[in-house]
Amino acid sequence: MNQGISVVGLYVDDQDEALAFYVDKLGFRVHTDVKNGPYRWLTVVHPEQPSFQLGLFAPGAPIHDDATAQTLRAMVAKGAMPPLVLAVADCRVTYEQLKTRGVEFTQEPMDRYGSIDAGFRDPAGNGWKMIQAPKASA
């Protein structure tokens, strides 16, 4: 029986750098960090969603040949992968907190269609949108 999605993966070029970014700057926690030869299964979780893991995976063996891994790294670095979305209670406050921690933003918070959003990228180039949902009408 289908039990839902438990892991969504991102390609990163340096797993240690990605781990530091997601844990130290965004506040995620390590869920799993194991190696099998040169392959490393590394996942983190958001503290408010511990059952949903974000995989920080390096392109390469045993899944990809060298040429494919190089292409994937280049695509990620250019920001060509679909963005992920981080839901926040207050976009402007979270923007200031993350900026203080060294997160580099590609878009400052802006009002858009009743919500407020901002954009940033991780060290590998993966794009993120940080979105504050519209307030419910009374």
State whether residue 91 is helix, strand or coil.
Answer: helix
pTM of this structure: 0.89
Tokens of 27: 């506040």
Domain-embedded: residue 138: no
Domain-embedded: residue 137: no
Domain range holding 59?
7-132
Domain-embedded: residue 37: yes
CATH of the domain at 78: 3.10.180.10
Quick one: pLDDT at residue 137?
60
Contact 118, 87 (CB under 8 A): no
Domain-embedded: residue 115: yes
Residue 75, C-beta contacts closer than 8 angstroms, at least 6 positions apart: 81
Domain-embedded: residue 53: yes
pLDDT digits (tens, 9 = 90+) for 9-46: 999 999 999 999 999 999 999 999 999 888 999 999 99
Q: How many domains does the chain have?
A: 1
**What gap in Å lies between CA 24 and CA 15, rounded to an integer?**
14
Strands 29-36 and 49-57: unpaired
More confident residue, 68 or 1: 68
Whose tokens are 């392959």? That residue is 39
Domain-embedded: residue 88: yes
Domain-embedded: residue 1: no
Domain-embedded: residue 46: yes
Mean pLDDT of 67-74: 93
